[in-house]
Amino acid sequence: MKIALTVNGEAREADVWAGESLLTALRDRLELPGSKNACEQGECGSCSVLLDGVPVCSCLVLAAQADGHEIVTVEGLARDGDLHPVQAAFADAGAVQCGFCTPGLIVATDDLLRRSPDPTDDEIREALSGNLCRCTGYAKILDAVRLAAAR
């Protein structure tokens, strides 16, 4: 089936299988593999995208449900080739190891800082509790979020 949606500010169309997730559509139909497929059950947050400005797990959105809606993925955050401040902070703080969780964390952090520009540590930890990281133990991610907020 055909869907039409806006992705990273661009009008896109995709021919999707009715049972597939927005994540699969983004990765396999729209050639935007930045959102990651780690668990496909909403437990890890690696596939986080903004759906009409709200962070969601794209693995739990039916591709057909995104028809007519606006999506922003990690690929859509950088502007004019410059890193988004959250992306820069993750790179600078050593918050990236294997990096598989990173796109989802960056989308979730961007959302947090837009809602709460100077979050407490508890706020950061709760806001990012749906993004699993298996490499870092989260310490450097906490540093990165503080760094992004400070900048």
Partner 1 sequence: MTTAALSHGRAETATRRHDAVPKVRGEFAYANDLRAAGMLWGHTVRSPHAHARVVSIDTSEAARMPGVHAVLTHDDVPGRKTYGLDFPDQPVLASDRVRYFGEAVAIVAAEEPEQARRAAEAVRVEYEVLQPIVDPERATESEPLHPPGTTARHGFREDPRPNVVRAMVVTRGDIEAPADVTVSGVYEVGQQDQAFLGPESGLALPDGEGGVDIHVATQWTHVDRDQVAPCLALEPEQVRVHLAGVGGAFGGREDLSMQIHAALLALRTGRPVKMAYNRQESFVGHIHRHPARIWAEHRATKAGQLVSVRMRILLDGGAYASSSEAVLSNACSFAIGPYAVENVEIDGLVVYTNNPPCGAMRGFGAVQTCFAAEAQMDRLAAGLGIDPVELRLLNALEPGGRLATGQVITGSLPTREVIRRAAALPIPEPEELPRDVLRLPGGAGNTTRGEGVRRGVGFAVGFKNLCYSEGFDDYCTARVRLSADGAAEVYCASAEVGQGVHDVILGVARRELGTDDVELVTGSTADVGSAGSTSASRMTWMAAGAVQLACRDALEEQERAGGGEVDVERVYRHPRTFPLDPETGQTTGERSHVAFAVAAMRVVVEVDVELGLTRVVWIGTAQDVGNALNPVAVEGQIEGGTAQGLGLALMEEIQTRDGAILNPNFTDYLMPTFLDMPPVVSDLVEEPEPDAPYGVKGVGEPPTVVSTAAIVSALRDATGRELARVPVRPDDVVGL
Partner 2 sequence: MDVLTPRTLEEALTLKAVRPEAVPIQGGTDLMVSLNFDHLRPEVILNLNEVAELRGWSRENGVLRLGAGLTYTELLHGEVAEALPVLAEASRTVGSPQIRNRGTIGGNLGTASPAGDALPPLLVEEAEVELASTRGTRRVSLGEFLVGPKQNALSQDELIAAVVVAPSRQPQTFMKVGPRNAMVISVCSLALVADREHGELRAAYGSSGPVVGLVRAPLDEVGSFAERVAAAASPIDDVRGSAAYRRHALGVLAARALERCLA
Residues of this chain that interact with partner 2 (CB under 8 A) are: 1, 17-21, 40-43, 45, 48, 54-57, 59-62, 64-65, 67-68, 108, 111, 126-127, 129-131
Do 45 and 58 contact (CB within 8 A), yes or no?
no
Question: Shortest gap between Cβ of 50 and partner 1 (angstroms)?
Answer: 13
Closer by beta carbon to partner 1, 68 or else 139: 139
Tell me the CA distances in angstroms from 138 to 6, 52, 143, one per residue in order.
32, 28, 9
Only segment of 50-58, 60-68, 89-97, 111-119 that touches partner 1 (CB under 8 A) = 89-97
d(CA 86, CA 102): 11
Site for partner 1 in 30-59 (CB under 8 A): 31-41, 43-44, 46
Amino acid making up residue 101? C
How do beta strands 70-72 and 10-15 pair? Answer: unpaired
Is 63 among the residues that bind partner 1 (CB under 8 A)? no
Q: How many angstroms separate the most distant Cα atoms in the chain?
A: 45
Is 125 among the residues that bind partner 1 (CB under 8 A)? yes
Residue 135: Cβ-neighbour burial (10 angstroms; 0-12, 13-18, 19+) = middle
Question: Shortest gap between Cβ of 124 and partner 1 (angstroms)?
Answer: 8
Question: Shortest gap between Cβ of 89 and partner 1 (angstroms)?
Answer: 8
Binding site for partner 1 (CB under 8 A): 17, 19-20, 27-28, 31-41, 43-44, 46, 73-75, 78, 83, 87-88, 90-94, 96-103, 106, 122, 124-126, 128-144, 146-147, 150
